[in-house]
Structures are given as structure tokens and as C-alpha cells.
Amino acid sequence: MANKVKDTLGKAKDAVTKAADSIDKEKVLDSFGNVKSALEKAKDVTVSKTTEVLDVNKDGEVDIQDIIILAIKTPGVHVTRESFLRKELFKNHPADVVDDAIARTPALAGIPEEEIDKIADEVIKFERNCVSGISAALGLPGGVAMAATIPADVVQYYGYTLRAIQKLLYLYGFPEIDTDEEGIMLDSETINRIVVCLGVMNGVAGANNAIKALAKALSVGVEKKLLATALTKGTLYPILKSTLKWFGVKLTREIFAKSVKNAIPVVGGVVGGGITFLSFKPCCMRLKNVLTDTMLSNPNHVSTVEEEHLFSHIVDGTVYEVEYEECNETLSLADET
């Protein structure tokens, strides 16, 4: 019996060896090469089509400014400061206190810090649940429909991020986000203010101090023209450019990553929703934690040296006439605390 088993195993081994020898290894390698080439072509086509859809300013690149412009046009993304604060505060406070919070800030109206923080946490939870559910739904189509879903997936994520940014800014004392009458157009200063917030959310160096300096400037009534200068070509410009550069890399990676996960319909949807759910809250919490201690949210706020440095240049109207790389030394005084 043992001999028969041994003989059978020997014959099986010989058969496997013979079959392996008969395989054309060159053809196998060629097949793998063809698959790899096809995947690379699919990636190039997907990224090209996505860029065409997302590139609002038609500069040949997809940057975070394009995404912000597209996102604010999405119905429901724009948040009106007065309506939001009134809705959140009327449950626990009389009309005169709510009116004061809207006219000035919730902190100056005497709204307890603990209450503001609780509302902020609820905002983050709500927006996270919304964006995660839609991300999973938009992750379901595969194959030919893939390229069409990626722009929607990217824009919807940042659309809900923008909703969270607006609500957090309003809770912690910032003024209304400037839009046109329909709430769908932003000026460059407003876009750049949002970019700085996104920098805080994603840990970009200098962004924390930038938002604190901006809050101080707003709290003491610095002219809008000086704020616009700081955000477009002044002291906050290097931090802004650093954030834009960081997001340029991030968006490219996101578009490719979404093209891969969306190519696998069901699994792609589950993974997409899960990743969004996990990544959304930490980003929002970073912004919330910074906003809780500024001149707009905390009357007892003590400015750091770095914050004062940026603030003084905002007031002075400092303008950089050089490229970002040449004024990079400013970042040495604008690192996160």
C-alpha cells in the first residue's frame, strides 16, 4: 500500500514538473506586462478626464481652489451664519442673547465654552456621517462609470468639509463667509481663508498660527483691504502657498486612489466609506482645537510670539514681491505651536 501511494505521488510530481516545463515563461511575462500597461493607461485616462472636469480655472491642474469653487456651488454646502447660530442657540438661550451672539460672537454673548464645544462636536459627527454615507454610495459604480464618479466623490468630500469649516468658524466667532447673493461664488480672499483652514485640518506647518493671527486681526477690526492683502500676497502668502503645494500632491493621490477602489464596485464602496469616516473627524478636530483659543473665541487668549509676528505684518500691510521659495524664511517664525 505504501509503495502504491509513493508511486502515485511520484507520478503526480513528474506530471507537475512536466506541466511547469511546458509553460512559456516569456508569454506569461508578456501577459503580466500587458496587464500592467493596461492599468497604467486606465490610470492616465481616468486622471485626464477627472482633471478636465475639476479644473475650473483651466490652468491644466487640479488644485484645492478648484475644489472649493466647485464644492460651494453644490446645493446645501453654503451655510448662512445667522441661520446656523440661531438654530443652534435658540434652544438654550433667550432671543436677546442669540441676537448678541449673531451681532458679535457666541463667546462675547456669554455662551459657555462647554456648550460651544458640544455643538461643535455634534456638527463634526453629523457632517462625518453624511460624507461617509455618500462616499460609500458614490464608490459603488465600477468599470466605464468610474471616471464620472471620481469628481463627484472628491467634490462631495470637500463639500461636507467646507460645511464643517463654516459651522466651526461661526461657532468660534468668525464672520460670515463672503459669497454672492446665490451663495455660490467666492472671492479670492475668502477662498484663501478656507485654504488656511484646510491647512490647519491637515497639519500644514504654519497654518495654526495663521488662523490665530487672522482671528486677532478680525477681532480688533483690521481693514478688509489689509486682510485681503495678507491672504493674497502678504504675510500669510508663504503659508498659503505651502498649503496649496501640499494639496496639489494630496489631490493627485486621491484621484488615483479613488480610481482604483471604484474599479472594484462593492468592495470599493465599503472601503471608500470606511476611509472617509476615519479621516474626516481627525481633520475637523484639529481645526476645532485651534479655533477654541483665539481672540475671537477666548477673551483671555494670550498671543504667541509667532502669532504676534504674523499679526504685525498683517497690520503693516507687508507685501511679498518675490516667489514663495524666496520668502520661505517667513515660515521659520510661523511653525505650529
Q: Assess whether 157 and 294 both reside in one domain.
A: yes
Quote the pLDDT of residue 260.
39
Residue 42 pLDDT more than 70? Answer: no
Mean pLDDT on 297-323? 84
Q: Decide which of 108 and 248 is more confident.
A: 108
| pLDDT per position as a tens digit, 128-157 | 888 766 544 444 334 333 334 345 566 777
Please tell me what DSSP assigns to residue 178: P
Q: Assess whether 41 and 190 both reside in one domain.
A: no
Mean pLDDT on 27-54? 56
> Closest Cα partner for 213 from 225, 204, 222?
222
pTM of the entire predicted model: 0.71
Q: Assess whether 119 and 209 both reside in one domain.
A: yes
pLDDT band at 13 (very low <50, low <70, confident <90, very high): low
| pLDDT per position as a tens digit, 298-309 | 988 999 999 999
Mean pLDDT on 40-48? 56
> Closest Cα partner for 191 from 231, 250, 248?
231
How many domains does the structure of the chain reveal? Answer: 2
Mean pLDDT on 10-32? 57
Q: Assess whether 177 and 155 both reside in one domain.
A: yes
Q: Assess whether 234 and 281 both reside in one domain.
A: yes
Q: Decide which of 292 and 245 is more confident.
A: 292
Residue 84 pLDDT more than 60? Answer: yes
Cell numbers that stand for 240 in this block: 498659503
Q: How high is the mean pLDDT of the chain?
A: 73
Q: Assess whether 168 and 278 both reside in one domain.
A: yes
Quote the pLDDT of residue 97.
96
Mean pLDDT on 117-126? 95
Quote the pLDDT of residue 59.
64
Which domain does 23 fall in, by range? 1-54
| pLDDT per position as a tens digit, 220-238 | 888 888 888 888 888 888 8
Are 153 and 273 in contact by the 8 Å Cβ rule? The answer is no
Q: Assess whether 308 and 199 both reside in one domain.
A: yes
Q: Assess whether 114 and 43 both reside in one domain.
A: no
Q: How far is CA 302 from CA 194, 222, 297, 298, in A?
A: 24, 18, 12, 9
